[in-house]
């Protein structure tokens, strides 16, 4: 008896894609004779995504739907989908068909060969603007340094077996960065390359602002590097202070104490701005700690549905 695959599909304003995706992915899995379920998570869409999922449940077998009370973000949707999934292995893919379904089959076969975490790796980054590419590059080099895992071509397209998924679900943090945490849990891991497809309908949910937020948020959850940088500045400035102190004392004793007005102004500005910046960085971490200790749920579910077998 083949083992069941759960496919988690987070969906935010994807009314045009739900049925198409279910058809493409479902038909392919049936053709390959892989027992499956499709777990759609409606992340508080403002369009008719949920209605489409409800209709789909009447039309097809093996459909599950989870509806959030509002938009909680993709990471929450992925988490909720994995928590609802009942398969022996669980795949996560975007529901805009940018992750090729054929790769899903490859992942499943690798899982059958005994791999526990199969990471989808982007062969190319697809069509993105220059700024987007530069930004992604900087972000991933910081994250890769912090995690010790090469994240430059990482994606959210993956397959995890039950054991790895259960460990992932045990993570207590509110801010789940799925892309990195799936490798963080460990287990026997392998990689599959895939080409990011063009989005068929609808539009990307990422604005430049949300990308910056995503980056800052995840860098601070994975790394204390920004604080270390601040400490480094502190040390550099201390050395400066000692040197300037010696110079000032020398000037004082040799009777030239009034000169150096520009230096004073520049130093004041520089030190002031670095101090402010450092406070900002520290403040950010404190805000994050505050966010975590509040222990609010990652998401709120308003409805769960399942198609009749």
Q: How far is the CB of 99 from ligand UDP (least distance, A)?
A: 9
Of 93 and 165, CB closest to ligand UDP: 93
**6 interacts with Mg ion by CB under 5 A:** no
Q: Residue 21, interface with Mg ion (CB under 5 A)?
A: no
Q: Pick from 74, 140, 154, 183 the residue near ligand UDP by CB under 6 A.
A: 74
Stretch that binds ligand UDP, among 73-81, 108-116, 215-223, 288-296 (CB under 6 A): 73-81
Q: Is 98 in the site for Mg ion (CB under 5 A)?
A: yes
**Cα(224)–Cα(245) distance, rounded to whole angstroms?**
31
> Is 60 or 132 the residue whose CB approaches ligand UDP more closely?
132
Site string for Mg ion, 211-240 (x = CB under 5 A): ------------------------------
Enumerate residues 6+ apart whose C-beta is below 8 A from 244. Answer: 263, 267
Residue 33 region by backbone torsions, left for phi larger than 0, else alpha for psi between -120 and 50, else beta: left
Q: Does 11 bind ligand UDP (CB under 6 A)?
A: yes
Q: Does 14 bind Mg ion (CB under 5 A)?
A: no
Structure tokens at 67: 């509806």
Q: How far is the CB of 236 from ligand UDP (least distance, A)?
A: 38
CA distance 197 to 83: 27
Q: What separation in angstroms does the CA of 270 have from each of 127, 170, 225, 266?
A: 40, 45, 21, 6
In the complex, minimum distance from the CB of residue 309 to ligand UDP, in angstroms, rounded to a whole number: 26
Partners of 11 in the β-ladder: 42
Task: Catalogue the E-assigned strands of 47-162.
Answer: 63-68, 89-92, 117-124, 154-161
In the stretch 191-210, what mask flags binding to ligand UDP with x, by CB under 6 A? -------------xxx----
By CB under 6 A, what part of segment 97-136 binds ligand UDP? 98
Candidate segments 26-34, 97-105, 131-139, 176-184, binder of Mg ion by CB under 5 A: 97-105
Size of the site for ligand UDP (CB under 6 A): 16
Contact 88, 3 (CB under 8 A): yes
What is d(CA 29, CA 221) in angstroms, rounded to the nearest whole number? 36
Which residue in 14, 43, 75, 96 binds Mg ion (CB under 5 A)?
Answer: 96
What is the longest distance spanned by two Cα atoms in the chain?
94
Regarding 57 and contact with ligand UDP (CB under 6 A), the answer is no
Specify the pairing of strand 301-306 against strand 63-68: antiparallel
d(CA 217, CA 285): 10
Residues found near ligand UDP in the complex (CB under 6 A):
10-12, 14, 43, 71, 73-74, 77, 94-96, 98, 204-206
Site residues, Mg ion (CB under 5 A): 94, 96, 98
């Amino acid at each position: 008896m083949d083992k069941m695959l759960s496919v988690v599909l987070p969906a935010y304003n994807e009314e045009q894609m739900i049925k198409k995706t279910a058809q493409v992915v479902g038909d392919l899995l049936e053709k390959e004779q892989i027992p499956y379920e499709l777990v759609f998570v409606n992340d508080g869409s403002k369009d008719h995504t949920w209605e489409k999922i409800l209709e789909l449940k009447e039309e097809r077998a093996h459909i599950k739907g989870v509806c959030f009370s509002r938009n909680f973000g993709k990471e929450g949707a992925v988490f909720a989908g994995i928590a609802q999934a009942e398969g022996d292995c669980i795949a996560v893919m975007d529901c805009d068909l940018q992750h090729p379904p054929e790769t899903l089959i490859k992942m499943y076969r690798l899982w059958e060969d005994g791999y526990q975490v199969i990471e989808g790796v982007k062969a190319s980054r697809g069509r993105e603007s220059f700024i987007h590419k530069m930004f992604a590059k900087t972000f991933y080099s910081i994250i890769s340094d912090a995690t010790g895992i090469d994240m430059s071509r990482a994606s959210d397209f993956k397959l995890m077996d039950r054991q790895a998924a259960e460990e992932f679900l045990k993570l207590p943090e509110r801010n789940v960065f799925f892309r990195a945490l799936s490798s963080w849990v460990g287990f026997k891991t392998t990689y599959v390359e895939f080409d990011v497809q063009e989005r068929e309908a609808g539009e990307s949910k990422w604005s430049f602002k949300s990308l910056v937020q995503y980056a800052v948020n995840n860098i601070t959850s994975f790394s204390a590097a920004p604080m270390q940088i601040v400490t480094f500045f502190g040390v550099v400035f201390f050395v400066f202070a000692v040197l300037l102190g010696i110079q000032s004392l020398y000037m004082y004793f040799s009777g030239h104490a009034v000169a150096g007005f520009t230096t004073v102004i520049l130093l004041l500005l520089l030190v002031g701005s670095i101090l402010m910046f450092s406070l900002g960085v520290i403040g950010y971490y404190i805000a994050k700690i505050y966010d975590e200790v509040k222990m609010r749920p990652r998401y709120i579910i308003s409805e769960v549905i399942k198609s009749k077998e």
